[in-house]
Amino acid sequence: MDLPFEPYRIKVVERIQRVSREERQAQLHAAGYNVFKVPSEAIYVDLLTDSGTSAMSDRQWAAMMTGDEAYAYSKSFAEFERNIRDIFGYRHVIPTHQGRAAESLLFAAAVTPEHVVPNNIHFDTTRANVEHRGAIALDCVCDEGLDAQLVAPFKGDMSLDKLAAAFTKYGLERIPFVMITVTNNSGGGQPVSMANIKQVSAYCSERGVPLIFDACRFAENAWFIQQREKGYADRTVKEIAQEMFSLGDGCTMSAKKDALVNIGGFLCLNDGDLALEVTNDLILHEGFPTYGGMAGRDLAAVAQGLEEVMDEEYLAYRIGQVKRLGDRLESLGVPCLQPIGGHAVYVDAARVLPHIPQSEFPAQVFTAALYLEGGVRGVEIGSLMFEHLDPDTGATVHPALELVRLAVPRRVYTHTQLDYVAETCARVAELGPRLRGLEIVWEPPSLRHFTAKLQPVGGGAMVAEA
Ligand SMILES: *Cc1c(COP(=O)(O)O)cnc(C)c1O
């Protein structure tokens, strides 16, 4: 048996439907070939995101019932703070309603328009929050991290050369802090090695520049370190996480990922003055410093989720399940970004549909066909999301890759359901040349991938007659 074993059994189930092909066709048409607008009741397996979609455990639900809703210094905040300090080790723990609120609070206090913030790759809300302050969000991931087919253990690593070049170009006074995203979500969920974190940490501390983690998938990253990095096989995931965070000065965290809850987040800092400034802003925008936009029961669920996420049997199952999906896709002839990351599989749609030019959105065609063929929802990460005009020449610039991300919610779907996803992808690939490109009929001024309406080029059906 090479299946990743589930270290739990199912106590509560949620009925889902596999609606008919006719209904899927009608839904897709009504949604303008944009699966963001398909109602979730009409979706069978929803791999749009792993964020806020985890199944909570019986212990988390029990913690919800015993959550303390006191406005100030609740018992649930004490548990939340204690468990976070235990893993992350930072002095100040500031609850926020989700990850981007932690980013917004930190950047409002510490980033000004002349600043530059280096990161391996900024997640889109992180980039947007840096740019919202008028500053530059700079990606410094190693070159291996930009090569979709290269198999390497730590493609999330920061390039020390690129980081040093940024310090030389902009100067120390323009860099308020350096960030590292673990795992590197926008680079395919690839992990960052402890060796790299140590190097970046030493580089920063020699210059007196703080290092801040974007910690959303810290446990998945720690598990990869344990599995892949020399010297860590005998350390627990918790010890690895503790060592990792001891090399930095704070973190932003979306609890919707590795805290196994549906909403929540936090910011941690060692710097007391900065924490005080952030806390003043927190009271204005989020809430009192001991709940910061979350209910007491939500704080309690995070506290419990952080313990569960470091269970190594859970992590072996979790990352094994994602890898198994990727391996099945490859064995069915559907090419994926390599190696398979921690939380998602990325299908290389340009290689599946080489007859569709980037101007006709091959990854969006794959995404729409995946819904039409089997009621499966993924998300396009290609030209619909990233195409832009060159500011100097006005020419259209397409992204390097046309990907479809299949993000796997934690503890939610069975192996059978993910096998079904792999087979549906294979059916889409078999349709191949029969699939027609898409054109935009309406788009908003920004972030168009969420709401744009499309149609098959020139009208008619997306799947041509055989
Ligand atoms: C999800 C995510 C965020 C933002 O968190 P939200 O809870 O969605 O606001 C920031 N960084 C990374 C790497 C993420 O994956």
Question: Which residue, judged by its Cα, is nearest atom 3 of ligand 1?
Answer: 99
Structure tokens at 261: 């809850």
Q: How far is the CA of 58 from the centre of ligand 1 (A)?
A: 25
* 252 backbone dihedrals φ, ψ, rounded to 5°: -110, 150
In this prediction, residue 448 carries a pLDDT of 87
The radius of gyration computed from the CA coordinates of the chain, to the nearest angstrom, equals: 22
Does 129 contact ligand 1 (Cβ within 6 A)?
A: no
Query: Model confidence over 383-437: pLDDT tens digits?
Result: 998 888 887 898 998 988 899 999 999 999 999 999 999 999 999 999 999 999 9
- The average pLDDT across 301-327 equals 97
Residue of 48, 256, 410 to mutate, ligand 1, most atoms within 8 A of C-beta? 256
Closest CA to 360 of 324, 394, 335, 396: 396
Q: How far is the CA of 102 from the centre of ligand 1 (A)?
A: 10
Q: How confident is the model at residue 312 (pLDDT cuts 50, 70, 90)?
A: very high
Q: How confident is the model at residue 359 (pLDDT cuts 50, 70, 90)?
A: very high
In this prediction, residue 220 carries a pLDDT of 98
* 440 backbone dihedrals φ, ψ, rounded to 5°: -80, 130
Does 293 contact ligand 1 (Cβ within 6 A)?
A: no
In this prediction, residue 390 carries a pLDDT of 82
Beta strand 178-181 pairing with 211-214? parallel
Closest CA to 54 of 215, 261, 286: 261
Q: How far is the CA of 123 from the centre of ligand 1 (A)?
A: 7
Q: In whole angstroms, what is the distance from residue 398 CA to residue 361 CA?
A: 10
Q: Is the pLDDT of residue 193 over 80?
A: yes
Q: How far is the CA of 266 from the centre of ligand 1 (A)?
A: 11
Q: How confident is the model at residue 221 (pLDDT cuts 50, 70, 90)?
A: very high
In this prediction, residue 400 carries a pLDDT of 85
Query: What does pTM read for this prediction?
Result: 0.95
Question: Which residue, judged by its Cα, is nearest atom 11 of ligand 1?
Answer: 123
Domain architecture of the chain: domains with CATH? 21-50+311-456 (3.90.1150.10), 58-308 (3.40.640.10)
* 319 backbone dihedrals φ, ψ, rounded to 5°: -75, -30
In this prediction, residue 148 carries a pLDDT of 84
In this prediction, residue 399 carries a pLDDT of 87
List CB contacts of 244: < 8 A, sequence separation 6 or more.
182, 194, 197, 213, 218, 221, 222, 225
Q: How confident is the model at residue 109 (pLDDT cuts 50, 70, 90)?
A: very high
In this prediction, residue 417 carries a pLDDT of 98
Q: Is the pLDDT of residue 88 over 90?
A: yes
- The average pLDDT across 290-314 equals 97
Index of the ligand 1 atom closest to the CA of residue 101 = 9
In this prediction, residue 3 carries a pLDDT of 83
Q: How confident is the model at residue 445 (pLDDT cuts 50, 70, 90)?
A: confident
Task: Tell me the percentage of the chain whose pLDDT exceeds 70.
Answer: 100
Does 97 contact ligand 1 (Cβ within 6 A)?
A: no
Index of the ligand 1 atom closest to the CA of residue 265 = 7
Q: How far is the CA of 338 from the centre of ligand 1 (A)?
A: 22
Beta strand 403-407 pairing with 379-381? antiparallel
Q: Is the pLDDT of residue 258 over 80?
A: yes
* 94 backbone dihedrals φ, ψ, rounded to 5°: -120, 110
Question: Which residue, judged by its Cα, is nearest atom 12 of ligand 1?
Answer: 123
Question: Which residue, judged by its Cα, is nearest atom 8 of ligand 1?
Answer: 99
Task: Tell me the percentage of the chain whose pLDDT exceeds 90.
Answer: 91
Return left, alpha or beta for 192; rule: phi > 0 is left, psi -120 to 50 is alpha, else beta.
beta
Mean pLDDT of the chain: 96
Does 191 contact ligand 1 (Cβ within 6 A)?
A: no
Does 51 contact ligand 1 (Cβ within 6 A)?
A: yes
Q: In whole angstroms, what is the distance from residue 200 CA to residue 92 CA?
A: 23
Residue of 214, 405, 408 to mutate, ligand 1, most atoms within 8 A of C-beta? 214
Question: Which residue, judged by its Cα, is nearest atom 5 of ligand 1?
Answer: 99
